[in-house]
Amino acid sequence: MFERSLLQFLNHLLSVEGWALGRLKPFAGSNARFDIGPLSFSVGVSADGSLHLSDTVQEPQVTLRLPDDTPVRLLIDRESIFQSARITGAADFAEALGFVARNLRWDAEADVARLIGDIPAHRVTRGLRTFIEKNGETANRLTANFVEFLADEESLLVRPDGLTQFSREVEQLTKDLARLEERTARL
């Protein structure tokens, strides 16, 4: 459900910005997987450059691992998303996706104006921008607290140092098991 809504919104932005469709057209048939926290979905590029949900069984040409707080960063600090993103796969496709993502802009005022008119749309979007600017730090702290709650209180997220320790323990168990197998083989 979320993926479909996000995809409709992205295709709306792509259709408004014709250059973006043109930038993606050469990659028709290619697939990319987006990982954002526990959410993972795959998209494919259609012949016209628009995006569609893709079969997750098919191996993607590009995988983009975005920060867990990407939805909040979209409102507050878009550039930091791409600085923190990990991208693997076909370099040319990844570069095209990155370029489109960095440069695609939503003209919210124009979309709202279609619903309520130009002057009210200008006032509403100006008010929202002011609200977001003034409350950006609060949103950052709220997000950090929520992530901390999920990691420490609910144990739904694993901190990197905990994952590193777990990996070391698994590696040690693997070595211990190999030594035990050698001993039993000698008997």
* 123-151 residue pLDDT tens: 888 887 787 677 767 766 777 777 777 76
* 57-73 residue pLDDT tens: 677 888 888 777 676 66
Does 171 have pLDDT greater than 80?
yes
Arithmetic mean of pLDDT, 23-47: 80
- CATH of the structural domain 2-103, one choice from 3.30.360.10, 3.40.50.1100, 1.10.3720.10, 3.30.1050.10: 3.30.1050.10
Domain limits, the chain: 2-103, 107-156, 161-187
Q: What pLDDT is recorded for position 120?
A: 82
In degrees rounded to 5, what are phi and psi of residue 86? -115, 125
